[in-house]
């Protein structure tokens, strides 16, 4: 039987198919942790970290106790700080798994991959916001999102018509593609415009063996980084990650039994 008085953990793990394991595969709930995923449909269409976090929390049901931690994976990592700040009160623990920050190159590569999926070759891919794209992303994120989504919609409709789709099919397919892309782009842009520096609380950063350090929250009040002996695909189902999170939460668990190790990974706070 699951405990009902365990710590509350809010998670940020972008929905949709991926090959990498997901946060829920850690099985924290089996140890009495009450886990609530914030990134559920409908996703926010906000372009600042603060606004995005506020909309996520607006749909959160009342919690039976204080939130002990915010856990986030990959590109969602910066948003964990905005969610934690919006909660108010004592700062909860922030747990980051293979955290990444959003760069202009990340957004560009993703956009061009969408165009390639429509059959548009790289030499036919125009930059919809011109030479000042990176500056626009930084200074006017809503204009940036509008530019990319508008251009993608135009190109998607043209590609579908060229493939022989009728107008009903064009409308349905383009609407589905654009909706999914707008959700993801807003998530990336909001994460880029999230405040991560100066966090006064604890940050636990768990990284896979093949990950590239992000440097996020280097100035946190207390920070620990633990590189685990697993690849990115297995990080969120590894016993090492589970043990480290439960230890940070102060949750009693079964003795650590990772084959070949026989001990819990050591977390050094600084």
Check residue 100 and give its pLDDT.
Answer: 94
Q: Within a 13 Å sphere around the CA of 208, how many CA atoms are in the beta-carbon half?
A: 19
Model pTM score: 0.89
Residue 76 DSSP symbol? G
For the purposes of burial, counting CB atoms within 10 Å of the CB of 136, is it exposed (0-12), middle (13-18) or buried (19 or more)? buried
Per-residue model confidence as pLDDT tens for the chain (270 residues): 344 578 999 999 999 989 999 999 999 999 999 999 999 999 999 999 999 999 999 978 877 679 999 999 999 999 999 999 999 889 999 999 999 999 888 898 888 888 888 888 776 666 665 667 788 888 999 999 999 999 899 999 999 999 899 999 999 999 999 999 999 999 999 999 999 999 999 999 999 998 888 888 888 889 899 999 999 999 999 999 999 999 999 987 654 444 334 345 556 565
CB 117 within 8 A of CB 231: no
Residue 91 DSSP symbol? P
Check residue 141 and give its pLDDT.
Answer: 94
Check residue 125 and give its pLDDT.
Answer: 63
Check residue 146 and give its pLDDT.
Answer: 94
Check residue 267 and give its pLDDT.
Answer: 61
What's the rounded Cα separation, in Å, for the pair 215 and 130? 30
What's the rounded Cα separation, in Å, for the pair 21 and 18? 8
C-alpha torsion 169→171→175→176, nearest 10: -10
CA 190 from centre of chain = 11
Check residue 3 and give its pLDDT.
Answer: 45
Pairing type for strands 202-207 and 34-37 reads unpaired
What's the rounded Cα separation, in Å, for the pair 80 and 209? 23
**What are the beta bridge partners of residue 227?**
207
């Amino acid at each position: 039987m699951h405990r009902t008085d365990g710590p509350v953990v809010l998670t940020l793990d972008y929905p949709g198919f991926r090959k990498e394991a997901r946060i829920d595969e850690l099985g924290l709930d089996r140890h009495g942790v009450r886990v609530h995923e914030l990134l559920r449909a409908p996703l926010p269409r906000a372009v600042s970290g603060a606004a995005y976090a506020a909309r996520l929390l607006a749909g959160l049901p009342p919690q039976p106790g204080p939130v002990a931690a915010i856990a986030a994976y990959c590109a969602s990592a910066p948003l964990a700080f905005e969610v934690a700040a919006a909660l108010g009160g004592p700062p909860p623990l922030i747990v980051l798994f293979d955290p990444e920050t959003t760069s202009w190159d990340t957004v560009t590569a993703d956009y061009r991959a969408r165009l390639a999926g429509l059959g548009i070759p790289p030499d036919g891919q125009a930059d919809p916001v011109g030479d000042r794209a990176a500056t626009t992303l930084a200074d006017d994120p809503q204009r940036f999102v509008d530019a990319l989504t508008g251009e993608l919609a135009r190109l998607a409709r043209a590609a579908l018509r060229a493939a022989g789709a009728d107008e009903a099919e064009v409308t349905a397919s383009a609407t589905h593609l654009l909706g999914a892309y707008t959700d993801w782009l807003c998530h990336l842009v909001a994460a880029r415009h999230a405040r991560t520096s100066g966090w006064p609380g604890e940050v636990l950063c768990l990284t896979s063996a093949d990950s590239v350090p992000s440097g996020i929250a280097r100035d946190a009040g207390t920070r620990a980084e633990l590189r685990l002996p697993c690849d990115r695909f297995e990080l969120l189902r590894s016993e090492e990650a589970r043990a480290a999170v439960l230890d940070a939460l102060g949750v009693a668990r079964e003795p650590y039994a990772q084959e070949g190790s026989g001990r819990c990974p050591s977390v050094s706070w600084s």
